[in-house]
A and B are shown apart, each in its own frame.
Chain A
Amino acid sequence: MTRKKILIIDDDPDIVEAMRMPLEANSYAVTTAKNGKEGLQKVKEEAPDLIILDVMMDTDTEGFHVAYTLRSEDADSEYKKYKNIPILMITAISGKKGMKFLMEKDMEYLPVDDFIEKPVKPKDLIEKVAKLL
């Protein structure tokens, strides 16, 4: 059985490392990108099975743009092939606000499959990744 490939797009190398360790320990192949542009490039090159995506990178909403680009409804989109790759988004949830982004199709709709809270707990991460793959 081939190992499932996971692409982590995050600009914080320590967060990436903290996620890489438990993922590799659970036999996933991990590849990383440190910004949205590099991330999209890696999607084309490596065609990962799952994408873990941070929101704030070079800009405050870079992660959102990556998600929108990948899930574009545009028929000519160059990412059409990758539209069905599940996306797990990392969010820094402030205080007691709870889930800030809803997965329902409304104004705050984000085309992602699940969220994981930052700081990342390995157990949560593994659970969510397993569910999506």
Chain B
Amino acid sequence: MFSYSTIPEKSSVEKELAERISWFIALRWIIVFGISLVSLFARFIMGIKLPITKLLIICLCVLLLNGIYSGVQKRIKSIELFANVQISVDWIILIFLIHYTGGIESPMIFYFIFHVIISAVLLRRKECYLQTTFSVLLICGLSVLEYAEIVPHVQICELFPMPVYNNGVLIISVLFFTVTTLYVSCYLATSITHHLRKRENEILILKNTVTDAYEKLQAIDKEKNEFTFKVTHELRSPLSAVYSLLKSIEEGYAGEVSQKARDLIVRSEKRIRFLLTLVNDLLDLVAGRSEKPREGEKKQIDINDVVKRSVLLVEEKAKLKDVKFVINSTGTVSYLFMVPDDLDIILSNLIDNSVKYSYKGGTITITNKIVNKEIMIEISDTGIGIHEDDLDKIFNEFYRAENARTVEYEGTGLGLSIVRALVKKYGGNISVTSVFGKGATFVILLPVG
């Protein structure tokens, strides 16, 4: 399904190659520095006869080249070609170094393996094989030229009192092992990097797919919410108009109204009032379900203020039923960061419910405190309670428990859904406990931030 040729985001793959090349250039500084030091050490401390001037000149050339590489790397268009050129030039330099350190006898011959591995990291598999072949040709060429004495052999080490560059059997065996080592290294290294790259691409494709899907989902959700918002808004205008007109008629501004007609008008008004509440609740629900609040929209909200406001809204209703409020604030922190109005909607819904479902003379206790760095708000009443079977259903849209319907015939069944949606929007949690017939307790946990 995923082949290496389908690079989903060329730019990011190229970006990574560029990063690897920077790393390669940095590595080269260190290697050149190391070779210069080792050469000087071998020549002057160990007394090994080395053409030190030539070696240092080569090192200087490499330093110069590397300076050019790092200078132009930002402006290079074809980054792959750039990598190939660098590696090829490195082989040539390496072959000179090997020549001046004893040709086939040079211990630097092992450096070829490093370079094969580096090629595997930087290049595609085919290119890496080509580069390896190039290096093999260089080594073989040098050996042959030295053997044929077209190129003079540099004898460096007393470890080899008898020069071996002209020993055909030795050359063949050294070349055989070197060449096989290089190709095997090439195979191993490219296999690993090829596999890694494939995985990397798969992850990239996967990441893009997931991001796409997520963005699409968000767009759909946003569209849905906007649609619902528009629809409910459009519904509200005519309902408002009808209600306003009926109210004018009822109050006699359009002429004498018979008692019978007035009764009918009042009934119509009641139904429209309910529809308006439903539309308003739907608007709140959509607002609650919309995307996470942006930090900029949040403000510091004083919980005690919101509690006071919410209680004020139901004061009249509570007085009629002789319901008392007990408000405890034991938290040292009594504020939250939320979008203004959201906590008002949450608390006024819950407090309105507890008044609605209280018995005459009941008590509603509102407590807020800090529990484990979260704000806990508890609203407890001594009302009709919720039946065990209804406990996990009351947060569902439009669900109304049987005993609730008996007490209050009208109700949209959306209040608790709105509350839950809003609490969840802030990463909070809401739970309920109840003794049927004796009261219910709603507990909200909200993060402070």
User: Hey, which bits of chain A sit against chain B, CB under 8 A?
Assistant: 12, 14-15, 17-19, 21-22, 25, 92, 94-98, 100, 118-123
Contact = CB atoms under 8 A, between A and B. Distances in A.
A22 B253 contact: yes
A100 to B, nearest CB: 7
Interface string B262-291: 000000000000001000110110000000
A94 B253 CA distance: 27
11 contacts: A18-B241, A21-B254, A92-B240, A95-B281, A96-B345, A96-B352, A98-B344, A119-B244, A119-B276, A122-B247, A122-B253
A18 B242 CA distance: 9
B191 interface: no
Which of A17, A22, A94: most chain B Cβ within 10 A? A94
Interface in B29-81: none
Given A22-B251, A22-B253, A119-B239, A15 B244 contact: yes
Nearest to B280: A95
B281 to A, nearest CB: 6
Given A12-B237, A21-B254, A122-B253, A97 B244 contact: no
B419 to A, nearest CB: 11
A79 to B, nearest CB: 28
Given A96-B313, A97-B345, A118 B244 contact: yes
Given A15-B240, A92-B237, A98-B344, 5 more contacts: A22-B251, A95-B284, A95-B418, A96-B345, A118-B244
Which of A12, A19, A96, A100: most chain B Cβ within 10 A? A96
B341 interface: yes
B317 interface: no
A-B pairs with the 4 shortest C-beta distances? A18-B244, A14-B241, A119-B243, A21-B253
Contacts of B283: 94-95
Interface string B227-240: 00000000011111
A15 B243 CA distance: 9
B178 interface: no
A94 B251 contact: no
B348 interface: yes
A96 B344 contact: yes
A14 B245 contact: yes
Interface of B: 236-245, 247-248, 251, 253-254, 276, 280-281, 283-284, 309, 313, 341, 344-345, 348-349, 352, 418
A96 B418 CA distance: 11
Contacts, number: 75
A26 to B, nearest CB: 9
B244 A25 contact: no
B276 to A, nearest CB: 7
A106 B69 CA distance: 59
Interface of A is mostly: loop
B247 A18 contact: yes
A97 B287 CA distance: 12
A120 B281 CA distance: 19
Contact of A96 (B241, B244, B251, B348): B348
Nearest to B254: A21
B247 A121 contact: yes
B175 to A, nearest CB: 81
Nearest to B283: A94
A54 to B, nearest CB: 10
Contact of B236 (A14, A92, A96): A92
Nearest to A108: B340
Nearest to B277: A95
Given A14-B242, A21-B254, A100 B247 contact: no
A49 B284 CA distance: 37
B248 A18 contact: yes
Nearest to B348: A96
B3 to A, nearest CB: 52
B280 to A, nearest CB: 4
A12 B253 contact: no
Given A15-B241, A96-B348, A98-B309, A122 B236 contact: no
Contacts of B247: 18, 119-122
B280 A14 contact: no
A91 to B, nearest CB: 11
Contacts of A15: 240-241, 244
Contacts of B313: 96, 98
Contacts of B341: 97-98, 100
Nearest to A26: B253
Contacts of A100: 341
A96 to B, nearest CB: 4
Nearest to B349: A96
Contacts of A97: 284, 341, 344-345
Contacts of B251: 22, 122-123
Contacts of A25: 253
A17 B243 CA distance: 12
Contacts of A118: 240, 244
